[in-house]
Structure 1
């Protein structure tokens, strides 16, 4: 545990610099309290307030997060009150690491499962909830795959909620029709579509890669379509390497696409959190957007009229590769809520989070373009795009969790940094692969 805690502290040094640059003077959310105070961090087990950190700063996520909190506060007999403290996505990730590295942590908080969640568990900031979980209706309600992603070392440490999120490509059907473009099934077909768009003054892909994880969507998808999932699993286990040809291919293809003008100018300076990628779609200066399927909720909430122009397809296969093209990149649950409290407070917090699996909450999520990770979600869906995404999830032979969530935090940061360098043409794919492999070997040595 001490070693893991030291790694969180080391990572927080980088995080602190980012937060000081990006988030000085930022809002403390709905509590109106200083984020550094013991009340805001939720460290007092005697307090009747349950502090809940999350990323619900904008609709539809804000409405969904608020629903669960308000429902609990209005109906509970526990004597506890949940206080929601939302923070913008990228700032939130840094804020959470820094809080834990300083020995503070809210009573409950959202994360993305994988390596970071495991670090939080090993550092003592997430409690096992097996007994509460098994005594509830959730085992019969939640998808097994979602519960598996919420588990670590044979214990359940989080409740999955909000969305089944896959990486795929949203596209403007009117632009495709105007230029007689067909939905591509291979990379060569995708490149033919992109070439036509460039020739007609349209940017093929809307991408704001200042956040780094957005560009990682392309890297992960290309690597998986080239080599399947074994190269990644082997590299993480230490039996393989991130210098495998599939990772080199992904980097080379990205740089080829950058040079051909498939991405916006200054792509690494554009902000996803500020909505600069989706604005390119709304302006119809870009035709496609490769990102998580939560964009169904984003598009439909922002403009129902625009959403009528949108469709979705799974990332195309690599020509000549025998990799399984049914493999998907993403998560079954998207947001996982973990708990840093005990006793009656933990029971009350669990009660609050359980509201997100109620019929009313599931309907609210579906109405906002989400695919909540419940077994009966197919009965709620009417939107053709969300149905298509759920079908892709059901048909997938395997779903690879996002690299930046699966990898240990320090290694994940190197992945994000080198991926951004690839997009910026400031590092060769070979050098990026070597640097990532070095980080992975260092982590394994610890």
Structure 2
């Protein structure tokens, strides 16, 4: 049965694999098709473990790989309580061949084994073309070694109802001045809250999606402040001022009705999407991880089914010169250098590491591709050619989670009028985060 399924897939995916063979970081005319290095009749079994309970986009990649190496099986297993179960899994009698890591795990002694066990993917002998990965996402460690493959990326910004903008003869704003002008026109047209979002302290919430990228840019421009931020030194609170003042100005303007957001959006994921699909919200603050849930929910929204509309993801234009694109990794793979199936594991990673395969995976998951070509998913088309001077990658800052939580709590307090900017700045390091 399985071989029959694969034969059908070959027919259905001819176009994809013909293009898919687009190599990374090269002109597409010069790229070469994936060519197996080993006997295609090789029998093998590979295992992948991770944090997603549902990873259909990876499993469809398995099927595409089977068209080259049909006599094997690759399985994906979700590990509950990943923080505490991944290290024992690596040390077990049947360790995974590929496993997920996150940037925040690095330099944490608890997760040292994850990086100690990782193969160097930048080893030229493996012929894994990492040039297709956006430079800001390529994670070079000591000695220039690359141990991780960024599979998905994410960012923070807003979903935009493009039909509303077309109806009202408006352009999506590119900077804060344009945002104010657009919001004034939308309010005049009857949209009480031109911008909405989840009123939470989480990363998809209003304060984080709108103001955190500006804060991160401040830190990226002055890396000397990082240690004080990470050590929760009260003097570092001044770094939050400009972004919090902009957030307060925006909320006080009436362009986003916090009370309305609180009443109509119960959580920072499903409710954000379903409220947006009602079709009367011009701009919805959120994260790329929220956008990933839109495709499956289109058919679950009666309003969207009755009256579908075009939408896209844009950077929130919080800055005077424009918004700031947080080019952040969402999920990374490591190859277990102690794998019993190392050759075929590396072969699968080599197959996966292409503009086309990473693009298809991201499109299926509706997350942002980690490759250089955004064109496969028009939802993220606005991110293509975003100005480098306003792009912040995860390597441009090393703001620890404790510092991020302080900012999120401060932004929430500012948005809800529970704290002044001066108070937030002065109380950095001691702002309650629960």
Structure 1's 235 and 116: CA in aligned 2 closer, same or farther, altered over 3 A? farther
Equivalent residue, structure 2, for 1:315 = 316
Query: Does the 8 Å CA contact 2:202/2:268 hold for their aligned counterparts?
Result: no
Offset, 1:194: 2.9
Structure 2 residues without counterparts, runs of 5 or longer:
1-44, 91-95
Equivalent of residue 82 in structure 2, options 96, 110, 127: 96
Residue in 2 aligned with 1:279?
274
TM-score by length of 1: 0.64
Counterpart residue number, 2:161:
172
- Answer yes or no: is 1:389 the counterpart of 2:383: yes
Asked whether the equivalents of residues 68 and 355 of structure 1 are also in contact (C-alpha less than 8 Å), the reply is no
Q: 1:228 to 1:412 in 2, by over 3 A?
A: closer
Where does 1:57-96 land on structure 2 (aligned, <5 Å)? 57=54, 62-70=55-63, 81-85=74-78, 95-96=81-82
Q: Does 1:148 align with 2:138?
A: yes
Hey, what's the Cα distance between the residues in 1 that align with 2:336 and 2:263?
38
Q: 2:194–2:283: 8 Å Cα contact kept in structure 1?
A: yes
1:349-428 alignment, distance < 5 Å? 349-358=345-354, 361-362=357-358, 364-365=360-361, 368=364, 372-374=369-371, 377=373, 381=375, 384-392=378-386, 395-397=387-389, 399-401=391-393, 406-428=398-420
**Per-residue Cα deviation, 1:120-155 (whole angstroms, up to 9, x for no partner):** 786322234226753223235532515633646743
- The alpha carbon displacement at 1:389 in A equals 1.4
1:425–1:434 Cα change, 3 Å? same
Work out whether residues 128 and 157 of structure 1, in 8 Å CA contact, stay in contact via their aligned partners in 2. yes
In the alignment, is residue 52 of structure 1 matched against residue 53 of structure 2? no
Q: 1:161 to 1:198 in 2, by over 3 A?
A: same
CA contact (8 A) 2:317 2:323 kept: no
Q: Distance in 2 between matches of 1:267 and 1:151?
A: 46
For residue 139 of structure 1, what is the aligned residue in structure 2?
129
Q: Normalising by structure 2, what TM-score?
A: 0.66
In 1, the alpha carbon distance for the partners of 2:385 and 2:64 equals 31
How many residues were matched structurally? 363
* Partner residue, 1:191: 180
Structure 1 residue 282, shift from structure 2 partner: 0.5
* Contact 1:54–1:109 (CA under 8 A) maintained in structure 2: no
Determine helix, strand or coil for the equivalent of 2:114: coil
Match of residue 234, structure 1, among 224, 236, 252: 224
- 1:195-242 CA-partner distances (Å, limit 9, x unpaired): 4445624432332254601132212233357x47314x3321449964
Q: Please give the root-mean-square deviation of Cα atoms over the aligned residues, in Å.
A: 4.3
* Cα deviations by residue, 1:254-287 (Å, 9 ceiling, x for unpaired): 24444534444327973233x1111121102321
- Report deviation, 1:105: 5.2
Aligned residue in 1 for 2:202: 212
How far apart are the structure 1 equivalents of 2:424 and 2:142? 30
* Equivalent-residue separation in structure 2 for 1:420 and 1:248 (angstroms): 14
Post-superposition offset of 1:52: 0.6
